[in-house]
Amino acid sequence: MVTVELDKVDEIIDRYVGEEGILIQLLLDIQSELNWIPKEALERISERLKIPVSQIYRIASFYKAMSLTPRGRHIVNVCLGTACHVRGGPRIMDRAKQILGIDAGETTPDMKFTLERVNCLGCCALGPVVVVDRDYHGKITPAKVKEIIETCD
């Protein structure tokens, strides 16, 4: 892991030193900063906060919001819950796969995009729904998928 990233991990840890029950928020902050949680970050947290790596790993691997594998700068979530599914969600997913050249759960080689399948985004009336980063796009058609992806820098 690059020294700059470990410096960022140290800065985040410094915000929480001496506080109780901060591990989940600490991991979320690292996830937000680096877009994933590298093994070296887990080890640094363990070393600095005197928490066993196994305990940190257990928490980091439990929550879907945390990733232990590198992810792209932009996360594309395609909803395939019941409402989105019956309104064409699988076609939206197929189009996203075609445009990005990856399957759900994968990241593009340039680390720009990660494509994920989600079971429900809680906005069924807008289905099918795609979320890119934190921007929700409802009533998506296969043609709109390309437009949405092209707006990402």
Report domain extents, the chain: 3-62, 74-150
pLDDT tens digits for range 29-41? 999 999 899 999 9
Instruction: Identify residue 101 by its one-letter amino acid code.
Output: G
Tell me which H or E stretch contains 105: none
| pLDDT classification of 6: cutoffs 50, 70, 90 | confident
* Residue 20, pLDDT score: 85
| pLDDT classification of 18: cutoffs 50, 70, 90 | confident
Give me the architecture of the 74-150 domain, per CATH. Answer: 3-Layer(aba) Sandwich (3.40)
Placement of tokens 């928020």 in the chain:
25
**How deeply is 122 buried, as exposed, middle or buried, from its count of CB atoms within 10 A (0-12, 13-18, 19+)?**
exposed
pLDDT tens digits for range 118-152? 999 899 999 999 999 989 999 999 999 999 999 98
**CA gap 127, 84 in Å, rounded:** 5
* Residue 55, pLDDT score: 95
Fold identical between 3-62 and 74-150?
no
pTM of this prediction exceeds 0.85: no
Provide the β-strand partners of residue 130.
78, 137
Give me the architecture of the 3-62 domain, per CATH. Answer: Orthogonal Bundle (1.10)
pLDDT tens digits for range 57-103? 999 999 888 999 999 999 999 999 999 999 999 999 999 999 999 99
